Structure 1
Amino acid sequence: MKASETVLEIDLKALEHNYRYLASKVNSQVKKLAVIKAFAYGSDSVALAKRLEKLEVDYFAVAYTKEGVALRDGGVTKPILVLHPQSAHFQEIIDRCLTPSIYSDFVLTHFIASAEANNQQHYPIHLKLNTGLNRLGFDPDEAPLIIEKLQQTSSIKVDGIFSHLAASEDPEEKEFTTSQINTFKKVSEDIIAGIGYQPLKHLCNTSGILNYPEAHFDMVRTGIGLYGYGNSDEIDKQLIPVGTLKTIISQIHHIKEGESVGYNRKFKAEKDTKTATLPLGHADGINRIYGKQKTNVSINGHLAPIIGNVCMDMIMIDISGINCKEGDEVILFGKEKSAEEFAHNAGTISYELITSVSQRVKRKIIE
């Protein structure tokens, strides 16, 4: 359907295709966790979670407590792992039956206190281990401390142990990734021996699923792959972008040689030029890095570069030689024009582009 305004179309059939493709890469006994943080990578977290529940996904993950609360309020019932919980939100986590990632002694101590204050027994947590990403997580030498504290309380129970691969998409970092896998195996087994029961172990992200089958363990996590991007051209061909960002031409201008376009006159016409103004800008997630002819959009099957500085609410494009008119549809990224291509041309990545789409952009669910 042609756009009549700026809209992000969200294709649930594409989501289903991507989920089934990634699920086909793991043993049927391995559980699947869908990462739907940041509004499901800039789309619609509740709509996607509900479709994934129908596909029998086992677990969800979000970054922050607020995101998990939004899923619960939207009717999502499967377990939800909060990857970066803050102690100020522990009561909300317990009230909404969310599962916190426990990544430090501070977080462990304070969550035990919250669980005990709420008379909890065996409240589920996941332990986050730092195996080399050096972002969040217990260091390997803290395993005895973890075990000691867990043995002293019955208020919480370890439902999962996990870590995060730093470079699973990079073949040049295979040695480092293998060392992460081995560290995770050793430390997680030490903790399991100390607590006396077997929680879920999970390590692989999307690229880990595809490149390190030996590290699938009990559960795998997929984020970017669900949305149609696989960190390589080969895998991208197997996936379908879920989101398509569309807009329309608001106005067409005929710029004479020597005239300029936009703020600070960052585009100056070297010849007579036809331009179009589009109704979206950096307040909608099309940041200033995409201006000055770094990347382009698609109109009626033709590419048109973004010119000059991106404005807060508008961008201008060069449509010289393109047969188009005011009101015509413009595609920034989607199935026919990859977000990875759009982003790469400007020196960034698809993750940043798709998660930046502002909440003022209308979302349209395509069944």
Structure 2
Amino acid sequence: MGNIGETTLEIDLSALEHNYHYLKSKLSSDTKFLGVVKAFAYGSDMVIIAQKLERLGADYLAVAYTKEGVLLREAGIQIPILVLHPQPVNFDHLILHKLEPSMYSPKILKEFLEMAQKLGLGNFPIHIKFNTGLNRLGFWEQDVDHIVEILNGRNEVKVVSIFSHLAASEDPNEKDFSLTQINTFKKISQELNEKLGYAPFRHMLNTSGILNYPEAQFEMARCGIGLYGYGNESTIDQELKPVATLKTVISQLHQIEPNESVGYNRAFTSDRYRTTATLPLGHADGIGRQYGNQKTHVLVHGKKAPIIGNVCMDMIMVDVTGIACKEGDEVVVFGTEQSAEGFANTAGTISYEILTAISSRVKRVVLNP
């Protein structure tokens, strides 16, 4: 172990490259690959990840909101960027930076067409999102005629893709539901193609979809969590490499006597002589209070040190009794030695949440650029 000196999120681009090639290997050679880099690339660094994916040959990137796409364009990213959840107030910036919006409701489509007409756009690329069962965003199957009626005879925009999203692609118990979604999407796309008079490319699969329903990869697949090292299934996790490793240091050691308490609200009381270590990260850095009170552990020299007491805003205390360590020693929170999925599961949540929660005040360090 080295001495990193402060709380640091290491971003290993060689791991990203490994995951990219693994996921690509599950697709046909002519299937486009979209890398999802929303939420600061799942809590890492959106620009660095996007630049690497562009160099690796990704066909598309996706973000949630317009301002994320603008940041990528300002950093020099050239490949197409799909904005999954655009808001009308940002349409002017979206258009200026040549981002491609998802049209997910009659209101959004109408307002974007009004803006496109006002600006005199021609064949501006848009993507039509259909809801096939997730019931989050998207047009309904019965909206096809309405969409075609609005778009026919209009040259301000061009539908470059239609897409949907599986609700439970990682759950084998929901296979029938997933297959119903896929068949519904096939029906919608066929009807839309016939009525539009041309065939936009299609995409429906997320990471688990790529692994479990490759027959539904259509012309493009979207991958988020898999790129960052997690596959929603233990055997797949073994094939992937975590991109982000959160490390911190021991700020101070304390010798605690029996019946002494630790932290706010005296949430932990020692039953014997113990050694505790205070670490410089807390719920303001993304380690929520749900991880305290011995639910979760960090690794000190590879050994488990439970988080004791309540997580503070800027600090956590861990029990290092019996672990040979000193102030300034490195501590691993999650990453290559302990997965973010395992860390998150102790508090009843998922890798996505802990990864995307890591605060911007945590230093980012890029490995293997």
TM-score band w.r.t. shorter chain:
over 0.9
Question: Matches of 1:187 and 1:152 in 2, distance apart?
Answer: 21
Aligned-partner Cα distance in 1 for 2:53–2:233: 24
Tell me, in whole angstroms, the C-alpha distance in 1 between the residues paired with 2:181 and 2:199.
21
Alignment match, 2:321: 320
Aligned residues: 367
Query: Could you tell me how far apart the structure 1 residues matched to 2:114 and 2:155 are?
Result: 11
Q: State the partner residue of 1:66.
A: 67
- Shift, 1:345, TM fit: 1.0
What residue in structure 1 maps to residue 163 of structure 2?
Answer: 162
Deviations 1:35-91 (A, max 9, x none): 000000000011011111111100000000010000001110000000000000000
Partners of 2:331 and 2:358 in 1: CA distance? 16
Counterpart CA distance in 2 for 1:237 and 1:304 is: 24
Whole-angstrom CA distance in 2 between matches of 1:25 and 1:123? 32
Q: Secondary structure at the match of 1:127?
A: strand
Partner letter of residue 189 of structure 2?
S
CA contact (8 A) 2:3 2:328 kept: no
Shift of the alpha carbon at 1:172? 0.1
Helix, strand or coil for the counterpart of 2:253? strand
Describe the SS at the equivalent of 1:93: helix
TM-score by structure 2 length?
A: 0.99
Say whether 1:118 aligns with 2:133.
no
Q: Counterpart of 1:346?
A: 347
Structure 1 counterpart of 2:103, one-letter code = I
Q: Which residue of 1 aligns with 2:286?
A: 285
Question: Does residue 1:23 correspond to 2:24, yes or no?
Answer: yes
TM-score (norm 1): 0.99
Which one-letter code corresponds to 1:310 in the other structure? V
Matches within 5 A, 1:1-367: 1-367=2-368
State the secondary structure of the residue aligned to 2:345. helix
Q: CA deviation at 1:152?
A: 3.6
Structure 1 residue 143: deviation in Å? Answer: 0.8
- For residue 100 of structure 1, report the CA deviation from its aligned partner: 0.2
Displacement of 1:366: 0.6
Deviation track 1:292-336 (CA, whole Å, cap 9, x = no partner) reads 111100010101000000000000000001000000000000111
Amino acid at match of 1:260: S
1:127-167 deviations in Å (ceiling 9; x for gaps): 00000000000011111000111104110000110000000
Q: Name the CA distance, whole Å, in 2 between partners of 1:301 and 1:62.
A: 36
Distance 1:72 1:149 in 2: 30
Distance 1:66 1:173 in 2: 35
The ranges of structure 1 where at least 4 consecutive aligned residues each deviate by more than 6 angstroms after the TM superposition are none
Decide whether the 8 Å contact of 2:44 with 2:364 is kept in 1.
Answer: yes
Q: Could you give the per-residue CA deviations for residues 90-122 of structure 1, whole angstroms, max 9, x where no partner exists? A: 001100000000000000000001111111011
Question: What are structure 2's unaligned runs of at least 5 residues?
Answer: none
**One-letter amino acid of the counterpart of residue 132, structure 2:** T
**Secondary structure of the structure 2 residue equivalent to 1:183:** helix
Measured in 2, the distance between the counterparts of 1:40 and 1:8 equals 13
Q: Within 1, Cα distance between the matches of 2:82 and 2:170?
A: 24
Q: Distance in 2 between matches of 1:170 and 1:96?
A: 38
Distance 1:334 1:53 in 2: 24
SS for the counterpart of 1:204 is coil
Identity %: 60
1:3 CA displacement: 1.6
Deviating more after overlay: 148-157 vs 320-329: 148-157
- The answer on whether the counterparts of 2:281 and 2:316 sit within 8 Å (CA) in structure 1 is yes
Shift of 1:2: 3.7
SS at match of 2:332: strand
Counterparts of 1:155 and 1:312, CA distance in 2: 50
Q: What SS is found at the alignment partner of 1:270?
A: coil
